[in-house]
Chain A
Amino acid sequence: MRGIGVLVLAVLAFLLPYAGSIPGIGPQIITQGIDWPSALFNMSYYVLLSLGLNVVVGFAGLLDLGYVGFFAVGAYGTALLTSNDSIMHTKWAWIAAAPFALAGTMLAGLLLGWPTLRLRGDYLAIVTLGFAEIIRIVATSTQTLRGDRGFTGIPHPPGSFSDGKPIFGVTDATPYFWLGLTVIILVILGVRNLDRSRVGRSWLAIREDEEAAEIMGVRTTKFKLWAFAIGAFIGGLGGVLFAGEQGFVNSQTFVLQFSILVLAGVVMGGSGNIAGAILGGALISYIPDRLRGISDPFFHTDLYEYRFAIFGVVIIVIMVLRPQGLIPSRRRAMELKDREKEVAPL
């Protein structure tokens, strides 16, 4: 039964580009200031990012504020191997560059994970924050990564219709969304398998009591590094897809607030819960995009300009009403209950 439900959900997700045709509510759902398929594609890479961050923060309990760094490594890796502007002059196809870009992000995950193994909580958060800033600043100020000018002409994913038109063109983002959705489904399957195995148990044990876990034989170093590497891989996937759709990458995309936004999505959706991470990731992309093209009644400016204010209010409301997230993880909710005492001592 449950399997059928999931299958129906997956099919419905693939039909999302046509949501505007639903009589009545359809026009309310779709975005106005940005075409709906593009908004859906944006949602798809945000969902990927929150799925990946959920592995690091939700499963293993490692607070990572620099997650955008991996997204950047994935996107830049693709750009360097494919773009005409790249000093590497390899000009590979997108599909050929993807595995190397992903290997690069996993390596970046290990590079960040290794020196921070002994850090926890706030301290880890600060170091990861620094990591993302290093990537952004290097991208901004080095010749090789071209700063603001960025990389142009990154090829799209391969494939063409029988009439010779490419499947992944520039006018319609729907195929990109479907590609993103396919990747998301594969990632969900993988992450779920890990969660329900020795690996997930080890992450959970590390999150709950790292020293006790190690004394019970859990190789904490190994599993923490895996959490970083897997999280980085999934974030890199988002970056590779992003580069393939946009065709252009520059340093302006990878700002700090991006990391914070994705973390907000994970927490809002329900940290430690895959469904929660998906919902949270989709919302952080959908809410601002939905606000585009709507004028406020007083000053007639685009509501998109107020997106952070509105978004902030939404997050506050959700956190007040459901501090454990929209779709909470049973365990995380209990842990949070323990900490209520710390937050508000009575």
Chain B
Amino acid sequence: MSEPHIETPQELDDANARPVDEAVPTGDAAVPVGRGVRSEDVLLEVDDVTLRFGGVVALNGVSFSLRKGEIFGLIGPNGAGKTTCFNAMTGVYQPTSGAIRFQGQSIVGKKKHEITRGGIARTFQNVRLFPEMTALENVMVGADAHHQTSVLSALFRLPRHWREERSGRERSIELLKFVGIMHRAGDVARNLSYGEQRRLEIARALATNPTLLCLDEPAAGFNPAEKADLLALIRRIRDTGVTVLLIEHDMRLVMGVTDRIVVLEFGRKIAEGTPAEVRDNPAVIAAYLGVPTDAA
């Protein structure tokens, strides 16, 4: 119950093992890791990423890195480039320039499903479940990410099909319990309440067995009680060993749960640090209060 990630599939073990051999030496030489972070602690590195859409510069030379096991906040006013940054990290957009490395390996140009299987899972700002599938089936799609059942073994019901179908179902049920919506397992996703849909998205993302879970404004539209529940859930996810990246513009929520924060404004990084440091940063205050500033 408390540790839904105990069944780490083979590939993920491999993926975890790789960067230690390859990435550390090259990573040290090529990319200085800022702020005294030892490179072996770095899980994801966004390195001088610029992303343009035509004439619009959505991200402008943004760099930051996530450490293993932390809850990391990416905040900023509306339109600051948070979701764009997120999309670049999950393969939806390709950066115009710059590099994104996950566990030491570049993920730029990789297919979305490869990135997911490599260990980055995400939720969506506007919930994107499979609306006509049941809650359980939604989570099972996530669990399938690491399954090996081929079309032929599904066609002839070979042992692998049964084995993975059973383990996928068990794990999905476990995750539905973990996020607290097991009682809705048999209902189609569209009939779930908004809060339940958000939780279901988290369960589906966790089912892909991520090393890094990216939550895009998971508390949007939540009341204070629901927000408090969500904070508790995020902490529990971190406690299972998953690194969490949280996009939010609700400052109070972010301050309460994150270990470190990066603040974006107009596609640039304007601040980075602990919640306390960021809160006292004049550029951040200016950005949030709308005072004109040159600090960015």
Contact = CB atoms under 8 A, between A and B. Distances in A.
Q: Do they bind each other?
A: yes
Interface of A: 190, 193-194, 197-202, 204-205, 208-209, 211-220, 226, 230, 330-332, 334-335
Given A193-B157, A217-B113, A201 B144 contact: yes
B161 A216 contact: no
Contact of A199 (B133, B142, B145, B154): B154
B112 A215 contact: yes
Given A190-B155, A193-B157, A217-B146, A334 B141 contact: no
The interface residues of chain A, by DSSP majority, are classed as: helix
A212 B128 contact: yes
A198 B112 contact: no
A215 B116 contact: yes
Nearest to B145: A217
A253 to B, nearest CB: 29
Nearest to A333: B132
Interface residues of B, number: 40
Contacts of A334: 131-132, 188, 190
Contacts of B149: 197-199
Interface of B: 90-92, 111-113, 116-117, 121-122, 124, 128-133, 137, 140-142, 144-147, 149, 151, 154-157, 161, 164-165, 168, 188, 190, 204-205, 208
Contact of A214 (B111, B133, B188): B111
A219 B117 CA distance: 10
Contacts of B128: 209, 211-212
Contact of A208 (B92, B122, B133, B140): B133
A199 B158 CA distance: 14
Given A199-B154, A201-B140, A212 B132 contact: no
A333 to B, nearest CB: 9
Contacts of A212: 124, 128-130
A192 B168 CA distance: 19
A217 B116 contact: yes
Contacts of A201: 133, 137, 140-141, 144
B155 A193 contact: yes
Given A198-B147, A201-B133, A217-B144, 5 more contacts: A198-B144, A201-B140, A217-B141, A331-B132, A335-B132
Contacts of A220: 113
B205 to A, nearest CB: 8
A213 B130 contact: yes
A202 B147 CA distance: 12
Given A193-B156, A198-B144, A198-B165, A214 B113 contact: yes
A299 B124 CA distance: 64
A202 B144 contact: yes
B55 to A, nearest CB: 25
A218 B113 contact: yes
